[in-house]
Amino acid sequence: MKRCIRILLLGLAAATVVHAQQVMMDEEIDRATGTRAQVRSVFDPPPSIGYAPMRVVATNGTGRDARWRFDFHAQTQQFRKPNQHDSAFALDVPARSTQSALFLVPLTAGYGDRSSGMENHSMRVIVSGTGFPDRQQNQFHNRTGKFPSVAISEALAEYSMTQLKKELETRLKAGGGHFGGNAEFGSRFEAVELPESWLGFSGFDFILLSSTDWQKVKPGAKRALLEWVRLGGRLDVYDMAGAEANVTGLRQGATSLGEVRTLKWDGKQLPGKETVTRYWGRTGRVESLVAEHATASDWPLLDLLGTRSFASWQVIAFLVIFGVLVGPVNLFVLAPPGKRHKLFITTPLLSVGASLVMVLLILAQDGTGGIGRRFVAIDIEPDEAAAYVTQEQVSRTGVLLGAGFEVKQPALIEPLAMPDTPWVKLKNTRMGQAVSLTQEGAERRGNFFQSRAEQGQVLRAVVSSRARIELKAGASPEAPPTLISALGFTVDELFYVDGTGKWWTLTAPLSTGQSATLSASDDSAQRLRWEAMIAPAVDSLRDQLKRSAKDQRSFFIAKAAKAPGFTLETLPSIRWEDDQVVVFGPVASP
């Protein structure tokens, strides 16, 4: 009896581990040599946007070295229009060895009509290599689009998930937006398995773990969590000591664009109603991607791009003229009765000629490449030797000779559904075009950019940098402060709040390597200028930026015309005009 109980407990423990890391593939490729491949998701289920961290274990039992290829195809189905993001990874597996790796698999949001409230997600992985046939496996899950994306640790979920799911399902049914499917409160994970790249958390709005979990998180993963928070993530740590404790060592409250909170729990079970209420109604990044920019009544960055007539009358005129030429003129002039055999020559020639004329007209009117506008927010953190970049951009293209591009550093690049105009193809309606994207290494392809279209993207990245604004040493406490710039670019405006809460401002532009003595200012002037600086951003990003500067000390806010080395470059043929750049962060002490 005791042995049976022990076996049962071991089985339950093993099931817990498997649940926290959903196995997507675990196949024996060659029984004779022991060659096998395993692919498992760190989060169960994977997030719906951003990146899904996948742990891969490959065992090569043969006597020859091999390179295995893993192809992932992530889809979100919306009314038979699959939004798809493909990616490929390679893993070298020497003979008679086992290799493991963490792949960050890009996902795509469910663009299109979201009235059903549910999103259907699928992922297919294909494993190929020399000496064995391709293996593939599919994974499916769905989730509500009316609840933020939450990741919850196994310790918090173990006794709480049933109640949390039941409460969430009750809320969804009461709101009339839940039509079956999976009312999953959040994706489960083991703290020790968290990825050491912030991109691995980019699909979540909230991450929930206990104070005990925090002690298990590896140092690299802790750094990644902080980077994710600075770029807008919200980290909630549940501790039995309550909200007065700060078990993470991170700054509590607003932290750059994100937030860190310590919350109280009993150490066993999270109260269902209270916990769901805490996250219910909180806007998620999915909504920002698929709806906020498309329906925003005030998005100044798009206004800066300006409007352009689609000139549909020209298309109608062209079709009418072509119809006359290929019809009456062709039949009665070029190939009259008795010479109808000429139609086999004149009709193709007219079609080819019309196509050439159309191409020449488009090139003459729209040109090649395109124009665009960008808003770039740069959080400079000297103590971390890093800058946190959030960039919104919109562009209008003519004829593109190529749509692929490379990124210089790891970055999250996500398309935005745009307001409905004749130039826009990605919309938040059933009539919108689905996205089809590809990532392989640093190369991005697909319809990020298209010919004769308006498109927008939001980009996020962590840039290693020693850039800083530093306070000059040696000045008396009564004297105006002097700041030294090591940003690498010129700022045109700058406000600085000292340790006492007093505001100071620049009187002239400040170039890198130079110093400037500031003049006294006041809080109202700073607030008005800060609001003007961040005005091009969409509402949710403006709110985050306002919170990031609230109640700060030894902190600067600046505006620049350009920021080379920090602005995230995409398609080279786009001519980006008049970048709107804001820079902010703590001032380094001498």
- In 3-state terms, what secondary structure has residue 202? coil
* Token pair belonging to 432: 């919108």
Q: Taking the CA atoms of the chain, what radius of gyration do you get in angstroms?
A: 28
* Token pair belonging to 49: 């946007």
Q: Nearest Cα to 580, choosing from 483, 493, 471, 463?
A: 493
For residue 12, the surrounding DSSP H or E stretch is: helix 2-20
For residue 360, the surrounding DSSP H or E stretch is: helix 343-366
- What is the architecture, at CATH level 2, of domain 20-145? Sandwich (2.60)
| Cα–Cα distance measured from residue 252 to residue 254, given in angstroms and rounded to the nearest whole number | 7
Beta strands in 382-435 (DSSP E): 386-397, 405-406, 411-416
Residues of the chain with pLDDT under 70: 1-21, 78-80, 113-118, 175-182, 242-244, 309-315, 318, 361-367, 475
Beta strands in 417-453 (DSSP E): 436-440, 443-446
- Print the SS3 string covering 499-520: CCCCEEECCCCECCCCEEECEE
Digit-coded pLDDT (tens) for 14-59: 333 344 457 888 888 888 888 999 999 999 999 999 999 999 999 9
Task: State pTM to two decimals.
Answer: 0.88
Across the beta sheet with 258-264, the strand order is 187-189, 150-153, 206-210, 234-239, 258-264, 253-255
Digit-coded pLDDT (tens) for 332-377: 777 788 777 777 888 888 788 778 877 776 666 666 789 999 999 9
pLDDT at 283: 82
pLDDT at 331: 74
DSSP symbols for 84-144: EEEEEEEEEE-TTEEEEEEEEEE-----S--TT-EEEEEEEEEEEETTEEEEEEEEEEEEE
Instruction: Write down the domain spans for the chain.
Output: 20-145, 163-282, 312-365, 366-590
* Residues 6+ away with beta carbon under 8 Å from 590: 470, 471, 472, 473
pLDDT at 20: 46
| Cα–Cα distance measured from residue 46 to residue 23, given in angstroms and rounded to the nearest whole number | 11
